[in-house]
Amino acid sequence: MTRDRVTGVVALILGLFIGINAFQIPASTMSGDPGPQVFVFIPAVLLIICGAGLLITGKSKEEPFFTRTEAKRLLIISAVVLGYIISMNWLGFLLPTIVVLYILATLFGKDKNIPWWGRLIFAVVVSIAVYYLYGTVLKLKLPANKLF
């Protein structure tokens, strides 16, 4: 299955999903107003037509966009960021950010042999800088600590 064909199938399924759910949206109660239902059909129809079109005509370069290692790296960074968001929910901003910045700097700099204390200083300095800048100077809200 070429990339385009996969995209076509995804679009087709999504279009069908939207279309089916659209029927559950109540039609308009006001006279003359087409209602909230009509517009939902437009992306549904577009997705179905174009998805089918891609499926039929779809061809793309054969070499995969992500190699095995690249896909693995993608998974790693996704897991790290997901973990970051979840941990921020419970632990607030400062601690998770320091940890994540250290991890990310390690991940990005793997081949460059940056000393661990360099990464640690970076993580701590940037976290505190952002905390101060956003929290105190700009008075923006940062995730708060719920556990202790």
Partner 1 sequence: MEFTEVFAQLFSPVTFGLVLLGCLAGIVLGAIPGLAGGMAITVLLPFTFAMEPIMAMAILMGIYVGGESGGYIGSILLGIPGTPANVATVYDGFAMTKKGEVTRALSIATVSNLLGTVPSILIAMLACPVIAAFAIKMGPWEYFALALMAITLVVSLSKGKMFKGFIAAALGLFITQIGYAPISATPRFTFDSYYLAGGFDTLTVLIGIFAGATVFINYAKGDQEKHATFTPKIGHFHFPLQDLIDNTFNIIRSFFIGLFIGFLPGMGPALSNVVSYSTAKNSSKHPDEFGKGCPEGIFAPEVANNASVGGAIIPMIALGIPGDGTTVLLLSALTIQGISAGPLLQQNNPTLVNMIFLAAIVSAIFSLIIQIFGLRLFPLLMEVPYHYLYPTILIISFIGVYANTCNIFSLFCALGFTFLGIWMTWADIPVTPFILSFVLGGTLETNFRQAISFAGGNWTTFFTRPVSCILILTAVFCVAWPFLKDAISQIKQKHERKG
Nearer to partner 1, 85 or 148 (CB): 85
Cα separation, 23 vs 102, in Å, equals 49
Q: Is 92 in the site for partner 1 (CB under 8 A)?
A: no
Distant-in-sequence, close-in-space partners of 122: CB < 8 Å, separation ≥ 6: 101, 102, 105
Q: Is 120 in the site for partner 1 (CB under 8 A)?
A: no
Site for partner 1 in 48-77 (CB under 8 A): 49-51, 53-54, 57, 60, 65-66, 70-71, 73-74, 77
Rg from Cα positions in the chain: 24
The single-letter DSSP state of residue 140 is: -
Q: Is 141 in the site for partner 1 (CB under 8 A)?
A: yes
Q: Which residues pair with 24 in a beta bridge?
A: none
Q: Is residue 145 helix, strand or coil?
A: strand
Q: Is 105 in the site for partner 1 (CB under 8 A)?
A: yes
Q: Which two tokens stand for residue 147?
A: 């556990």
> In the complex, what is the shortest distance from the CB of residue 108 to partner 1, in angstroms, rounded to a whole number?
4
Nearer to partner 1, 40 or 95 (CB): 40
Cα separation, 73 vs 21, in Å, equals 36
Query: How many residues belong to the site for partner 1 (CB under 8 A)?
Result: 73
Q: Is 20 in the site for partner 1 (CB under 8 A)?
A: no
Q: Is 126 in the site for partner 1 (CB under 8 A)?
A: yes
Q: Is 9 in the site for partner 1 (CB under 8 A)?
A: no
